[in-house]
Amino acid sequence: MVDRRSRRSYSANHGVKRSRRGFVTVQLPRHVIPKQLAGCKTAYYYNVPTKYRKLKCSVENEPLGTDFAEMTKRASVLNGQFDEWDLQRKGLPISAPNMPKYGTVGWLFREYKISRAYLDKVGVRFARRL
């Protein structure tokens, strides 16, 4: 009879399994979850925890796309908005000294300029004027 080796490779040292592929773990930004798409791509989503959604958090959940670099930029903006909301919820002062007060026109423009609608639909040429 022919002696066959199994497909799994075992080292000579105490039968320890070796894996053929290595995995790289990447630290994702806070509140970002990855989901595997059908085409073997990974999509990223910003997901505010349910605890904070029940407290009427003003930061919405949104898809961040499949590009890791763009995802990290957008996630940092959203996490900044979340931190600002959380500090305001706790009654603590917001750290930036020139931050517009909540509910003012300056605050409204700031919220619009960091929103997805502004970033995706307003051209670069027009954005310089604002």
pLDDT in tens, 87-113: 888 877 665 666 777 778 888 887 887
**Which structural domain range is residue 38 located in?**
32-99
Q: How many domains are contained in the chain?
A: 1
Residue at 90 is within a domain: yes
The DSSP-derived string for 12-40 is TTTT-B--SS------PPTTEEEEE-TTS
pTM here? 0.59
pLDDT value, residue 80: 86
35 pairs with which residues across the strands? Answer: 43
pLDDT value, residue 4: 58
Q: What whole-number distance in Å separates Cα of residue 33 and Cα of residue 110?
A: 26
Asked if residues 82 and 57 have their Cβ atoms less than 8 Å apart, the reply is: yes
Which tens digits make up the pLDDT trace of 37-82?
A: 988 899 999 999 999 999 998 889 999 999 999 999 999 989 988 9
Largest CA distance in the chain: 84
Stretch (H or E) spanning 62: strand 62-65
Residue at 24 is within a domain: no
Q: What angle do CA 119, 120, 123 make, to 5 degrees?
A: 80
Which tens digits make up the pLDDT trace of 108-127?
A: 887 887 777 777 777 665 55
pLDDT value, residue 89: 85
Q: What whole-number distance in Å separates Cα of residue 73 and Cα of residue 80?
A: 11
Residue at 75 is within a domain: yes
